[in-house]
A and B are shown apart, each in its own frame.
Chain A
Amino acid sequence: MDLKELYRDVILDHNRRPRNFGRIEPADTHAEGHNPLCGDRLTVWLRLKDGRIDDIRFEGKGCAISTASASLMTEAVKGKDKATVQSLYGRIHSLLTQQDAVPDASLGKLAALSGVREFPVRVKCASLCWHTLNAALERGAATVSTE
């Protein structure tokens, strides 16, 4: 169990200085996510243009993994359409849960999340933002839960 694998520099940096933190007003859609296990809450705000994410911001309180994951996600999905976001999440999910998953180059900085798979109870921390983004895209304002 190597803490350095979990708390890589990229993760610590994005926890300390989360990118795209705040809200978009007015937003085209937003969703709230909640992880009852640890009390993490976050809201993802989206502005959409021509079926793509034109702008994305998030705010909330959470652990380092959840904050950094959300921050990294906002950087990764800007300008992407829904299908691309979903495919990206599919790859992130494999990365978080499959022991032998090798991060492909297209994941960029998101690959820093691969250390989470050694800590199964923390997977939900990393995936909460993605569930929430998905909910925002799917049905506009809504609350999703990881439970």
Chain B
Amino acid sequence: MAVTAPRVAPAPALDVERVRRDFPILERSVNGRPLVYLDSAASSQRPLPVLRAVEQYETHTHANVHRGVHALSQAATEAYEGARERVRRFINAHSTREIIFVRGTTEGVNLVAQSYARPRFGPGDEILISGLEHHANIVPWQMVRDQTGCTLKVAPINRRGEVELDSFLSMLSPRTRMVAIAHVSNALGTILPVKRMIDAAHAHGAVVLVDGAQAIPHSTVDMRTLGCDFYAFSGHKVYGPTGIGVLYGREELLAAMPPWQGGGDMILTVSFEKTTYNELPWKFEAGTPNISGAIGLAAAMDYVESLGLEAIAAHEHRLLEHASRELERIPGIEIIGTAHHKAAVLSFTMEGVHPHDLGTILDAEGVAVRTGHHCAMPVMTFFNIPATARASFACYNTEADVASLVAGLGKAREVFS
């Protein structure tokens, strides 16, 4: 997957068997069958280098950061701040002052909603999102709408599951203060033309937040090329730990924003009369942070780069195309989301078999897929379905995994014949 368009140059092949050996969990069985993990869009598995980095930190280095003069505290601080620099390089931000560690994408979006939007917006102002958004990029803006009296607008999608770009562009106006869009749809896999959307939004003076949760594991994401104002993502979708994520924000915006949460670490001086806030990025990191999470995330980024993002993207794209072809041949299967540009997500329904039943039957075969509304109920409503089954691919998936999925779907057909 590329940021804005499919790449033409052939990427180096991924040695998937070697990659799989890095993920110990893939050796286990589920319900007496070898695990076939096709739910990486919900959470990816962690490779040994990530597990070891966290273990190494926990067994040798742990202390609180930014607080002590003792050796461990210094080492922990160095590792934590080193992780921040690692993230900066990964997304090519200008400065570590632009890298805020948060719990995940959801917290990143909420931080921007409450600290950037809420104090500034009022009646007449507009926030524009798309019809593809995850609840985490809908609800925080509804809260801001209710708190400030501003208006929340939604750019429509088409039957392929793409944002109607013309409608999106026509909904931009000088009233648009914030555009909040997914980079890749979690429910359907659609890759949004974010660069074009960002440029158009900027032409109207709007600030843009991109929900990058589903893009970051599959593509090179470059803040300077993209030019967005905020970009949020989660560690656990890019082979890192849960409970750690990143909010990137342009420094001048972050500098002008009030802190979101108050507490330790985000202050310089405190008296009962007045508190001076810390500098960026610590101003937004109240309390003891998820130190081992940040270290694990940095290790995950090292790992991903060692494989090569282009190689991962090419591998996943081949798998997606292969799986799409295989599923299209099965009578009664309908693929939901047929955008021209898609990342490693395959959402589908099977006639006569509810996705929840599909999920149970596949699980009995050791095949893990997500079933449900994928925290994107408006997308389900648009397609007039209660739910889908979703297979998603990562660097460790193979054509054999797709074959297991197909066999499992055959089993489901058998049960419900």
Contacts and interface: CB of A to CB of B under 8 A. Distances in A.
Given A12-B416, A38-B371, A39-B372, A3 B361 contact: yes
Contacts of A119: 360
Given A1-B31, A3-B364, A64-B416, A40 B357 contact: no
Nearest to B417: A12
Contacts of B250: none
A119 B362 CA distance: 13
Contacts of A61: 386
A7 B354 CA distance: 13
Contacts of B31: 1
Interface in B16-41: 31-32
A76 to B, nearest CB: 22
Given A40-B386, A61-B386, A63-B357, A3 B415 contact: yes
Given A1-B364, A3-B361, A39-B386, A63 B354 contact: yes
Interface string A118-143: 01011001000000000000000000
A6 B380 contact: no
B386 A6 contact: no
A145 B386 CA distance: 16
B354 A64 contact: yes
A110 B8 CA distance: 59
Interface string B384-417: 0011000000000000000000000001000110
Nearest to A61: B386
A125 B356 contact: yes
Contacts of B118: none
A42 to B, nearest CB: 11
Interface of A is mostly: mixed
B67 to A, nearest CB: 40
Nearest to B356: A63
A65 interface: yes
B103 interface: no
Q: How large is the interface on B (under 10, 10 to 19, 20 to 34, 35 or more residues)?
A: 20 to 34
Given A1-B31, A3-B361, A3-B364, A38 B387 contact: yes
B373 interface: yes
Contacts of A62: 354, 356, 386
A41 B357 contact: no
A38 B415 contact: no
A37 interface: yes
A57 to B, nearest CB: 20
B404 to A, nearest CB: 16
Contact of A7 (B377, B386, B415): B415
Contacts of A41: 386
A48 B415 CA distance: 38
Most chain A C-beta atoms within 10 Å of own C-beta, residue among B32, B371, B386:
B386
B409 to A, nearest CB: 14
Given A3-B415, A12-B416, A61-B386, A39 B360 contact: no
Nearest to B30: A1
Contacts of B361: 3
A20 to B, nearest CB: 19
Interface string B325-353: 00000000000000000000000000001
B362 to A, nearest CB: 11
Contact of B372 (A3, A6, A7, A37): A37
Interface string A70-86: 00000000000000000
B415 to A, nearest CB: 5
A69 B109 CA distance: 40
A119 B32 CA distance: 15
A63 to B, nearest CB: 4
A39 B372 CA distance: 7
Interface in A31-65: 37-41, 61-65
Contact of B360 (A12, A37, A40, A122): A122
26 contacts: A1-B32, A3-B364, A3-B415, A7-B357, A7-B415, A7-B416, A12-B415, A12-B416, A38-B356, A38-B386, A39-B372, A39-B373, A39-B377, A39-B380, A39-B387, A40-B356, A61-B386, A62-B386, A63-B354, A63-B355, A63-B356, A64-B357, A64-B416, A65-B357, A122-B356, A125-B356
10 closest A-B pairs by CB: A63-B354, A39-B386, A63-B356, A38-B356, A39-B387, A1-B31, A64-B357, A63-B357, A61-B386, A3-B364
Given A1-B32, A3-B361, A38-B371, 11 more contacts: A1-B364, A3-B364, A7-B416, A37-B372, A38-B354, A38-B355, A40-B356, A41-B386, A62-B356, A64-B357, A65-B357
